[in-house]
């Protein structure tokens, strides 16, 4: 048994930990515990609950309104791992500055990032988006079409990124991407960047943008980008989506030569 005196001695330490890590504890509750309990109670996955909310509150054919509906859901209901509005503005700005013709997105989840990218495309540009989970693909496709984008603008490709990337040119007609947005498994960032290099899928001067490089983090990806000599690398610091108390960042890589 722990004596009351020892317990009281540890109390200030525990309070300090709770205060210091309160944002992470709140994230654990909102992103893991609460959705898990609601999944079990309702039998409806969190992604479908979010889509039903967006369907009820967004204006069809209005990408901005679709994104705002997602943001309201994530702010007031349950946390979803989308890029969010703060980092989304960084990604959108970089996309508009580069004005690419061919955009590749790795990791669409519920379609938030796809809609964000698609609404910022120049006329005639095309977006290829890759998602591995069939359940997420089904939701993402509904969200993309709800926002008003058809197959001529956005092509949704289902499958693991390591399998999809080698067939992007022969099967989907992507000669080389001018802009790549990574928002899938953080451990996959470096592997998939090297796959894109190996298959010649990065156009000269291409831009690669990667989310969550500080939290949960992609240290090996960042180290490679900064030291391999192929890229000019910059990290745009921000906060984690829908969690202003947790620091995060978006990496911007600019190809220095041929991809």
Q: What is the pLDDT of residues 203-229, one digit of tens each?
A: 999 999 999 999 999 999 999 999 999
β-pairing, 243-255 vs 231-240, is: antiparallel
Q: Which of 212, 230, 248, 252 is an active site residue?
A: 212
Structure tokens of 199? Answer: 């298959």
pLDDT tier, 63 (very low <50, low <70, confident <90, very high otherwise)? very high
Residue 196 resides in a domain: yes
Does the structure show a pLDDT above 80 at 143? yes
142 is catalytic: no
Examine residue 208 and state whether it is found in any structural domain, yes or no. Answer: yes
Please say if 183 is a catalytic residue.
Answer: yes
Please indicate, yes or no, if residue 219 is contained in any of the structural domains: yes
Residue 221 · residue 210 · CB < 8 Å: yes
- 212 is annotated as an active-site residue: yes
- The pair of structure tokens assigned to 23 is 């944002």
End-to-end CA distance of the chain: 63
**Residue ranges making up the domain that contains 234:** 84-255
Total domains present in the chain: 1
Catalytic residue among 78, 211, 248, 252: 211
CATH number for the domain that contains residue 189: 3.40.50.150
On whether residue 20 sits in a domain, the answer given is no
Query: Which DSSP string do the residues of 105-143 spell out, in sequence order?
Result: EE--TTSHHHHHHHTTPPTT-EEEEEE--HHHHHHHHHH
pLDDT in tens, 16-34: 656 677 888 888 888 889 8
151 is catalytic: no
Structural domain contains residue 8: no
Average pLDDT of 134-152?
94
Per-residue pLDDT at 10:
58
Mean pLDDT of 46-73: 96
Owner of token pair 């007031």: 76
Question: Which one of 183, 192, 248, 252 is the catalytic residue?
Answer: 183
Least confident stretch, 15-24, 32-41, 69-78, 189-198? 15-24
The reply to whether 119 falls in a domain is yes
**pTM for this predicted structure:** 0.91
Question: Is 192 one of the catalytic residues?
Answer: no
Please report which helix (H) or strand (E) contains residue 164, including its range: helix 161-164
Of 105, 141, 178, 186, the active-site residue reads 186
| CA 205 – CA 68 distance, rounded (Å) | 32
Q: Which residue has the tokens 């007609």?
A: 173
Cβ contact 23:245 at 8 Å:
yes
**Is the per-residue pLDDT at 257 higher than 80?**
no
Q: How many helices (H) and strands (E) does the chain have?
A: 12, 7
Residue 28 placed within a domain:
no
The answer as to whether 67 is a domain residue is no
């Amino acid at each position: 048994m722990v004596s009351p005196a020892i317990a009281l001695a540890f109390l200030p330490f525990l309070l300090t930990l709770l205060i210091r890590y309160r944002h992470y504890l709140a994230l654990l509750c909102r992103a893991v515990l609460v959705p898990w309990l609601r999944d079990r109670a309702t039998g409806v996955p969190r992604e479908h609950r979010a889509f039903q909310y967006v369907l009820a509150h967004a204006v069809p054919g209005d990408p901005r309104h679709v994104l705002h509906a997602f943001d309201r859901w994530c702010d007031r209901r349950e946390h979803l791992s989308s890029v969010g509005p703060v980092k989304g503005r960084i990604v959108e700005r970089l996309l508009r500055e580069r004005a690419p013709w061919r955009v590749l997105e790795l990791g669409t989840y519920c379609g938030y990032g796809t809609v964000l990218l698609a609404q910022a495309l120049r006329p005639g540009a095309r977006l290829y988006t890759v998602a591995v989970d069939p359940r997420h693909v089904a939701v993402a496709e509904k969200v993309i079409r709800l926002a008003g984008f058809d197959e001529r603008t956005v092509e949704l490709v289902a499958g693991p990124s390591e399998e999809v990337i080698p067939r992007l040119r022969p099967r989907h007609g992507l000669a080389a991407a001018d802009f790549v947005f990574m928002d899938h498994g953080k451990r996959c960032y470096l592997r998939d960047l090297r796959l894109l290099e190996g298959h010649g899928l990065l156009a000269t001067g291409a831009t690669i943008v990667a989310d969550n490089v500080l939290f949960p983090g992609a240290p090996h990806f960042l180290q490679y980008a900064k030291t391999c000599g192929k890229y000019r690398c910059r990290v745009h610091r921000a906060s984690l989506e829908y969690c202003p108390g947790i620091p995060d960042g978006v990496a911007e890589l600019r190809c220095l030569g041929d991809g």
